[in-house]
Structure 1
Amino acid sequence: MSRDEMAEFVDIDGVRVFLGKPDASDGEWIGQREILKQLLACWLVVDRRDLPLSPRIVGMPGIGKTTLGMAAAQVRKQPLYIHQCTADTRPEDLLITPVLAESGKIV
């Protein structure tokens, strides 16, 4: 099976961009329920004109940020895509950046 048949993709201006697979791990949240409720409230839409918030979860390693995100995705029955950020992660690192090969073609 080729890469095209295995992965989902979108074509943007003639460039095929392959999409990552959602994380399928189970993340049981055993921490404070109030924190999970606050995160879920960020995506609460009461009126059709409401826009969900874009929360950023920050903190020291090992305190449960990823597990909190997994638990929220499970409650909302939504796929989860994990991106590990570090102190030097820039906004443009989260966007699609084309890479040019020596031939000048986008890879």
Structure 2
Amino acid sequence: MEKQLFNITLPIVSEEIENILLNYPEYPYQQAFSSTGLRPDLLAYVLSRIPNKFIVLEGTESLANLPISLPYTSKQRLDIEYYIHLGISDILPIYHQINGDMRPTHNLKLYYLFSS
């Protein structure tokens, strides 16, 4: 029987990014981190800095049908929020550089990480 591996941290981080971005102005933040913009980069940024949890499902089992309760501590949730805010401030200058906005950027090294 075929088994599939699922990252169950991914939907939690995705939802938290969505919630946090609602508190930022439409421009430039929500626009830059739209689902077709830099959102995948922000998601990868955060997931690469926190412990991820995985589940293995067999055959016809569906992740949507499982009652998954992730016991994240308050510190782990704060870490997720911290890395989202940090990622926004680190990645946004790249957006401005790519789109021709000549404002000074403070972290161009990420451009090389995401562009290669």
TM-score norm. by structure 1 comes to: 0.23
Would you tell me which structure has more helix in proportion to its own residues?
Answer: 2
Select the structure with the greater relative contact order (CA < 8 A; seq sep ≥ 6): 2
Structure of higher CA gyration radius: 1
